[in-house]
Amino acid sequence: RSFSSQTDGEARVARVLREKFPRASAIKVVDISGGCGAMYEIHIESEEFREKRTVQQHQMVNQALSEEIKSMHGLRIFTSTPK
């Protein structure tokens, strides 16, 4: 698949994250399972993470994706706050 086009799964996960983190300045979702939707890598930069420990930030993402996670094998989460 071309690098610019998202899989349906990537688009769905990104849409959920945009809804749950409206203040996010950057959201990137990559299917790292070869397109089958079993494993994703998520990079999200949001003001909502400020003053929170990494584990709390990741819990927020897990909570936001609680429904989607049920059909995944794994998830890599990278969170940050805008500089």
What was the pLDDT predicted at 4? 56
What was the pLDDT predicted at 48? 95
What was the pLDDT predicted at 34? 85
Q: Which two tokens stand for residue 61?
A: 């993402």
Q: How far apart are CA 44 and CA 73, in angstroms?
A: 20
Q: Are 12 and 56 spatial neighbours (Cβ–Cβ below 8 Å)?
A: no
Domains of the chain: 8-80 (3.30.300.90)
Question: Mean pLDDT of successive 10-residue segments in the chain (83 residues)?
Answer: 71 95 96 89 96 97 95 95 93
Q: How far apart are CA 24 and CA 40, in angstroms?
A: 18
